[in-house]
């Protein structure tokens, strides 16, 4: 590819860049200098942006899996805006942005065109934030699932409409503060009981592959992208991506928050094939939800002298329920809902 920016690594010694103790074959795509860098540097994301990270991990893995034969359709949102500041573009693959609510449909259209032309070697990714996926793009996504269009749809979930100034979306978790769910008066931020569980909604559509992942575990995320690319049909990947600006967290805590959300049980990481959960990521060091919540100013109103320990308790209950439901602790078997579940722990059940 002409104009392809060369990747240079600097010695940092974290897993992300390449652990010298690992066999090269076991290293992540990100650890290789020959990665496609599908979204290259120079974009205008905030420092510490989880979405920029997530998009890079996903697309580079998908480019590798498809031999560079990949087209991306992107919804309006942070990713689209910061990646194409006129007159520049950081995309090194064919990329289209149409509207806010239609990324899944545009992706379906690209896939249909490729099929009509006998070019099914070229793969399609549709991608968007949580707003574009669970709210305004929901109908189109559901249609794409129902038809089984050959598209991998990726949702980068930072739990609010960030690009427009941090307003709540259908994916905003309970008690979170956003620009229109402020903890004013007796309201504890975003209301409880709301929030669409998009991965489970994808499961309910019976599509061949559904998985959740975070930017804290690139091995897992890349493996899931690879697994998804091995399948044809409608596939869904939900990636948890912290947003320092919107969450009021430190840029340096982005990876930490992604790790903590898993370790608390608030964000179950799993992989499902044909509508059945096949694998979950076990929690290695269980953390209480406070450890996660306290790092984000969007939950600051829950703590301190005017805090709401009862709300924190309710959030903890959500985490507990997830742990039980998905069997997230070692030795756990999923206790309900008939999920087929395999423990990653060697000892089994």
Partner 1 sequence: MLKQTEGSAAVAETVAACRPEVVCAYPISPQTHIVEGISDLVRAGELERCEYVTVESEFAAMSVCIGASAAGARAYTATASQGLLYMAEALYNASGLGLPIVMTVANRAIGAPINIWNDHSDTMSQRDCGWIQLYAETNQEAADLHVQAFRIAERLSLPVLVCMDGFVLTHAHERVDVPEREAVDAFLPRFEPAQALDPAEPVTIGAMVGPEAYAEVKYLAHAKQLQALDAIPEVAAEFESAFGRPSGGLLRGYRTEDAETVVVALGSVLGTIEDTVDAMREDGVAIGALALKSFRPFPVEEVRAALAGAKRVLVVEKALAVGIGGIVSADLRMALAGLEVRCDTAIAGLGGRPITGEALRGLFEDAVAGRLRPLTFLDMDWERVEAELRRLGEGGRSGPHAENILREAGIVAGRSH
Instruction: Count CA atoms closer than 13 A to 185's CA, side-chain side.
Output: 2
Q: Which tokens hold the place of 62?
A: 């998908």
Q: Rule CB under 8 A: is residue 139 a binding residue for partner 1? A: yes
DSSP for 153-218? EEEEE-SSBTTTTSB--TTPPTT---TTS---TT--SSPTT----HHHHHHHTT-SEEEEEETT-H
Q: Map the footprint of partner 1 across residues 64-123, applying CB under 8 A.
A: 68-71, 73-74, 80-81, 84-87, 89, 91-99, 101-102, 105-118, 122
Could you tell me which of 151, 192, 33, 346 has the C-alpha nearest to residue 181? 192
Neighbours of 33 (CB within 10 A): 10
**Part in contact with partner 1 (CB under 8 A); list of ranges 22-30, 145-153, 183-191, 233-241:** 145-153
**Which of 163/190 has CB closer to partner 1?**
163
Which of residues 105 and 328 has its CB atom nearest to partner 1 in the complex?
105
Neighbours of 135 (CB within 10 A): 18
Shortest distance in whole angstroms from residue 225 CB to partner 1: 17
34 near partner 1 (CB under 8 A) = no
Which of 89, 167 has the CB closer to partner 1?
A: 89
* Nearer CB in complex with partner 1: 68/248: 68
Provide, rounded to whole angstroms, the least separation between the CB of residue 196 and partner 1: 17
Q: How far is the CB of 4 from partner 1 (least distance, A)?
A: 10
Please report the beta strands in the chain, taking only residues with DSSP state E, as ranges in sequence order: 70-74, 95-97, 123-129, 152-157, 209-214, 235-240, 270-273, 276-280
Q: Does 272 bind partner 1 (CB under 8 A)?
A: no
Least CB distance from residue 58 to partner 1, whole Å? Answer: 17
Q: Residues near 229 by Cβ (< 8 Å), separated by ≥ 6?
A: 61, 62, 65, 66, 123, 152
List all residues 6 or more positions away from 305 whose beta carbon is below 8 Å from its beta carbon: none
Q: Which is nearer to partner 1, 114 or 155 (CB)?
A: 114
- Specify the residue, 10 or 86, whose C-beta has the smaller distance to partner 1: 86
How many residues in the shown chain lie near partner 1 by CB under 8 A? Answer: 47
Determine the Cα–Cα distance for residues 98 and 219; give it in Å rounded to an integer: 31
- The secondary element (H helix, E strand) that includes residue 103 is helix 103-116
Residue 64 or 259 having the CB closest to partner 1: 64
Nearest to partner 1 of 19, 89 (CB atom): 89
Query: What residues does 183 pair with on adjacent strands?
Result: none
Provide the b/e sequence for 175-211 (b: ≥16 CB within 10 Å): bbbbeebebeeeebbbeeeebeebbbbbbebebbbbb
Smallest gap from Cβ 108 to partner 1, in A, equals 5
Interaction between residue 205 and partner 1 (CB under 8 A): no
Q: Which is nearer to partner 1, 122 or 211 (CB)?
A: 122
Residue 145 beta carbon to partner 1: minimum distance, rounded to whole angstroms: 10
Stretch that binds partner 1, among 62-70, 205-213, 218-226, 230-238 (CB under 8 A): 62-70
CA nearest neighbour of 150 among 184, 124, 187: 124
Q: CB of 116: closest distance to partner 1 in angstroms?
A: 4
Q: CB–CB of 38/1 below 8 Å?
A: no
Question: Residues in the site for partner 1, rule: CB under 8 A?
Answer: 1, 68-71, 73-74, 80-81, 84-87, 89, 91-99, 101-102, 105-118, 122, 139-140, 142-143, 146-147, 149
């Amino acid at each position: 590819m002409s104009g392809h920016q060369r990747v240079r690594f600097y010695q940092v010694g974290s897993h992300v860049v390449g652990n010298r103790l690992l066999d090269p074959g076991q290293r992540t795509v990100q650890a290789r200098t020959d990665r496609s860098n599908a979204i290259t540097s120079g974009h205008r994301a905030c420092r510490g942006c989880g979405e920029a990270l997530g998009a890079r991990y996903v697309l580079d893995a998908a480019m590798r899996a498809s031999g560079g034969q990949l087209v991306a359709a992107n919804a309006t949102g942070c990713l689209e805006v910061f990646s194409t500041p006129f007159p520049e573009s950081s995309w090194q693959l064919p990329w289209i942005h149409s509207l806010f609510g239609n990324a899944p449909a545009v992706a379906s259209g690209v896939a249909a065109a490729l099929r009509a032309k006998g070019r099914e070697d070229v793969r399609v990714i549709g991608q968007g934030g949580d707003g574009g996926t669970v709210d305004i793009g929901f109908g189109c996504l559901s249609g794409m699932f129902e038809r089984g269009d050959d598209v991998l749809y990726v949702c980068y979930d930072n739990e609010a409409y960030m690009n427009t100034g941090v307003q709540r979306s259908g994916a905003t978790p309970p008690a979170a503060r956003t620009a229109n769910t402020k903890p004013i008066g007796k309201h504890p931020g975003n209301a409880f009981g709301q929030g669409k569980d998009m991965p489970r909604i994808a499961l309910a559509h019976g599509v061949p592959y559904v998985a959740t992942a975070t930017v804290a575990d690139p091995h897992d995320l890349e493996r899931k992208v690879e697994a998804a690319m091995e399948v044809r049909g409608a596939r869904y990947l939900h990636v948890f991506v912290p947003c320092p600006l919107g969450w009021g967290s430190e840029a340096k805590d982005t990876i930490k928050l992604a790790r903590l959300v898993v370790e608390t049980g608030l964000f179950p990481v799993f992989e499902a094939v044909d509508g059945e959960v096949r694998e979950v990521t076990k929690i290695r060091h269980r953390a209480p939800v406070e450890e996660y919540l306290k790092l984000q100013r969007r939950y600051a109103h829950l703590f301190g002298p005017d805090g709401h320990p009862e709300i924190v308790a309710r959030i903890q209950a959500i985490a507990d329920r997830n742990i039980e439901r998905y069997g997230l602790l070692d030795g756990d078997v999923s206790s309900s809902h008939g999920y087929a579940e395999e423990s990653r722990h060697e000892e089994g059940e």
